[in-house]
Structure 1
Amino acid sequence: MPIVKHDCVIEDVWRPLNGRDLTEICPNESVLLSLEEWRDVGHAASARFERVGIALAPSDAVEEIADALPELDLVALTFPKFNDGRAFSQARLLRERLGFIGEIRATGHIVRDLFLFMQRSGFDAVAVEDTRALTPWLAARRRFTGYYQPALDNDEEEETRTPAATGSAAVGKIACASESVAALWAY
């Protein structure tokens, strides 16, 4: 299955363990474990394989893998259906609270219209099931240029929204036109 990552299409090199024995997979492979598999053989997998990742279900708490994050190269989060947004919260928790710097991949039923929001929540890769849709997926990142809410990718925005640039009062990281407007952002 192709992966869209950083405006490129790459091949998925991660191999799910799927209940197999660790010795059945070559040590130079990248192995993807479920949370249960991680609990059972996670430390052995980290010792055997060059790269290890975990696939979390929407019901899995990211805090359960907090201690393992330094050993992980990938966390795959699942969208079981289009209206289940728990993976957005999981991605944001992984990046902001737990400081995960590895790849966060979206899998499952992913709606292309939410691709930009996925990136702003912490995702940096998406597994695309329909290879005919790769070109629209690549274009989806540049579809919108303005944002109303703060996100994890604010670095570029903050430079252009400083009080000096806007000539207004700043509250937190959001530049506002007046004190009364700034108070609305607090709610």
Structure 2
Amino acid sequence: MFDKISSDDLIFAFFPCIRFENQIMLWFRGQSVSQKKWSLEEKCEFDMNLLKEVSLMYDLVNKMFIICMRKGLKLVMENPYSEEHFLRRYWCYSPAVIDRDRRDSGDYFKKPTQYWFLNCEPQNNLVFEPIRYVGIHTKWEHRTMEDYRVTGASNVKTARSMIHPQYADRFIRQYILDEEIWRGKQ
């Protein structure tokens, strides 16, 4: 797959977050609500398998970065942000951009997110345009499927992974494209 990508291309990776996000620590400690009735033995067996899954994801993210380093490919990777996030604690590469509240740039959810840039730098362009506010403010425990339907998704899990087109457009113009290109000056 990487052989067909040139150094002029940009890889934008939305790496699966399920094994890196901050809830993983609760699962390892046996403190997830779903594990309330599990025995200690069940929790220990689960932990062994969970560690294998985390290790597999960690290997894959490192392999992706190593391939891009060796081939000189530009890569931007997105993943949730939190202090407990696995890659924030146990990875040698720091994110270049951290967005603590995506609603401020026109997304549906607060959803703190971090972005790693490899073989390229974020542009930090200023985008002076009004934002059409689409954020969902309802507290997590009070949300209904109706709160999520605005995303166009059919279930909560999919809705949480959706990015509003306004947010994506602003992110690309602010951090990816050279300002002269998106303003049409070239």
Interval of TM-score (by shorter of Structure 1 and Structure 2) = under 0.3
TM-score calculated relative to the size of structure 1: 0.27
Higher helix fraction: Structure 1 or Structure 2? 2
- Structure showing greater relative contact order (alpha-carbon pairs closer than 8 Å, 6 or more residues apart): 2
TM-score calculated relative to the size of structure 2: 0.27
Higher strand fraction: Structure 1 or Structure 2? 1
